[in-house]
Amino acid sequence: MKAIFIAYNQAYGDEIVELLDEYGQRGFTQWIDIQGRGGDKGEPHYGNHAWPTQNYAILTFVPEDSKAEDLLKALAKKDEAFPDLGLRAFCWTVDKMV
């Protein structure tokens, strides 16, 4: 099982949830209106007058490793298509779950 944390620009709106649906990934937890700044060259997302955009984030647990890989590839493709928006996904192996 894999845990995937996805942080993305609010401009994606529902696209990321729709992508999860497309890959049959029903369960997730979503946070909205998150402030942050990209580590490389990303612009700040503070939700204020100078930096008005904000981010969203999703945490999802994918039972099949191959399904997680496919989802990560789809997220990478979306990020490559719109690199200025900002999208990052991090994947961990889940050893135990209750």
CATH number at residue 48: 3.30.70.120
Which pLDDT tens digit goes with each residue over 53-88?
899 999 999 999 999 999 999 999 999 999 888 899
Strands (DSSP E) found in 1-98: 2-9, 29-34, 36-37, 44-45, 55-62, 87-93
Residue 33, domain member (yes or no): yes
Residue 47, domain member (yes or no): yes
Which pLDDT tens digit goes with each residue over 29-46?
999 999 988 777 778 889
d(CA 41, CA 67): 30
Give me the helices (H) in 1-98, please.
15-22, 65-81
Split into its structural domains, the chain has a count of: 1
Residue 98, domain member (yes or no): no
Range of the domain at 79: 2-93
Residues contacting 82, CB < 8 A, separation 6+:
none
